[in-house]
Amino acid sequence: MESALISSPIGVLAVLCAVAAFFFLLAQVSEARLFNYIPPLLFIYATPVFLSNLNFGGQTVLPNSSIIYSGLSKYVLPVFIVLMLIKVNVPAVVKVMGKGVLVMLMGTLGVMVGGVVSYVIVHGWLPEDSWRGFGALAGSWIGGTANMLATKEMLEASEAQLGLAVVADNLVYIVWLPLLLMSRDYADKFNKWARVPAERLAAMDAAAEIHAEEDHAPTMQQYLFLAAVVLGVAAIGHAFAPGIASGIKESLPALSGVFSETTVRILLVTTIALLLSATPVSDLPNSTAMGTALIYIFVAGMGARADVAGLADAPAFVLGAFIWIFIHGLFMLAGAWIFRVDVHSVAIASAANIGAAASAPIVAAHHRPNLVPASILLALLGYALGNYLAPLTGHLARMAVGQ
């Protein structure tokens, strides 16, 4: 039986944190352009995969199984969902982006339709339950990494399928991000084709100035308030999810396979967090940064649990992902033409879907720097939708092929 060089829970957690911190430090110190096209997320996931699968003298560095991994899924995941969602500010993003929000929603619909269509095309080359992995990737492309991880838990996707979703996500990102950045060079032609009103850009810039917010350092009291709120919501989810799931199973047996206890817990936490985003709780600073940090530690933990044998299905999965992104792109173009939206808003909206809060500001800074704050809010709107729509996409893909 294989053993691990580092097996204590605190040691495993320390390694996961160190891996996540190292690649961000490397990106910051080296300023390598590589990290603009291959985000640290891929390295943060892949490194623990090797540490837990490669033998060094009969030992791996990390174990494939640890109480830390299960603890991350059960306790940390609800926490970072709340941290990410309490900052959603729908009125502000609508005022700044205007019809750009509608284009983003068209892109979200494109992700859902593309996920189903691409799965129908490639499912014959994949294991039967690969719709779960497609659902996880839909989570990333509707909202972001937090949604991918939440959907993975809701659909009970395997670690191998999550690995395929991460690989496909990053390979598509390498191609899609440069296209979004380059689209700025064709702004005049695109805007003429989309029949964009001349006053749209001026109105958007004026709204961005009005809704610009200055960040400030959190106080000790604010950290305590934030901890009380976040842990309280997570506790409510853990307390009520078993009863709700049991009630669904008894009253609607046909839906028991869809609304598991994990699914109910995540949807309950998501809904409460969104309700809180309309209260003064949303003014608590630093929640998004803290949530994002937990996400990367969670991703490292998922990598440590992965089995490299599952990556053999990567070619078919990646092919499906590229078909999928093409369909998303068509929906974005249709949305731009229907709603007469400029190329800058379209690129930011697509980045808010496909790349989430990590990429939307990059695209916004390249197109129109004053839209960076709005791009983050737009990405958070995607986070708000992802935990509802991504599992639905997975189940629609399953039903489309009769699985």
Q: Could you tell me which residue, 313 or 216, shows the higher pLDDT? A: 313
Q: Could you tell me which residue, 356 or 141, shows the higher pLDDT? A: 141
Mean pLDDT of 68-96: 84
How far is it, in rounded angstroms, from Cα 46 to Cα 6? 18
Please say if the pLDDT value at position 211 is more than 90: no
Task: Annotate 137-155 with b (16+ C-beta within 10 A) or e (fewer).
Answer: bbbbbbbbbbbbbbbbbbb
**Least reliable range by pLDDT among 138-142, 202-206, 321-325, 368-372:** 202-206
Kindly report, residue by residue over 32-76, the tens digit of the pLDDT.
777 776 778 878 888 998 898 888 777 889 998 899 998 988 889
How far is it, in rounded angstroms, from Cα 164 to Cα 135? 12
Q: What is the DSSP string of 175-231?
A: HHHHHHHHGGGGHHHHHHHTT--TTHHHHHHHHHHHT-----PPPHHHHHHHHHHHH
Cα-Cα-Cα-Cα dihedral sign, residues 367, 371, 373, 375:
negative
Averaging pLDDT over each range in 69-83, 328-342, 375-389, which range is the top one? 328-342
**Least reliable range by pLDDT among 29-38, 121-130, 141-150, 226-235:** 29-38
**Least reliable range by pLDDT among 85-89, 198-202, 289-293, 356-360:** 198-202
Q: Determine the pLDDT at residue 309.
A: 65
Kindly report, residue by residue over 343-361, the tens digit of the pLDDT.
988 999 999 899 877 788 8
Q: Please, which pLDDT band fits residue 216 given cuts at 50, 70 and 90?
A: low
Q: Determine the pLDDT at residue 1.
A: 40
Kindly report, residue by residue over 321-340, the tens digit of the pLDDT.
999 999 999 999 999 999 99
Identity of the residue numbered 162: L
How far is it, in rounded angstroms, from Cα 173 to Cα 179? 10
213 contacts 220 by C-beta, under 8 angstroms? no
Q: Determine the pLDDT at residue 130.
A: 92
Burial class (CB in 10 A: 0-12, 13-18, 19+), 127: middle
Please say if the pLDDT value at position 100 is more than 90: no
Question: How large a percentage of the chain has pLDDT more than 90?
Answer: 38
Identity of the residue numbered 324: W
**Least reliable range by pLDDT among 23-37, 108-122, 276-290, 382-396:** 23-37
How far is it, in rounded angstroms, from Cα 8 to Cα 207? 52
69 contacts 304 by C-beta, under 8 angstroms? yes
Kindly report, residue by residue over 271-307, the tens digit of the pLDDT.
999 899 889 998 888 888 888 889 889 889 888 887 6
- Identify the bridge partners of residue 56 per DSSP, sorted by sequence position: 59
**What is this structure's pTM?**
0.83
Please say if the pLDDT value at position 217 is more than 50: yes
Q: Determine the pLDDT at residue 139.
A: 94
Q: Greatest CA span in the chain, whole angstroms?
A: 69
Q: Determine the pLDDT at residue 373.
A: 76
Q: Determine the pLDDT at residue 257.
A: 67
Q: Determine the pLDDT at residue 46.
A: 85
325 contacts 114 by C-beta, under 8 angstroms? yes
How far is it, in rounded angstroms, from Cα 25 to Cα 3? 30
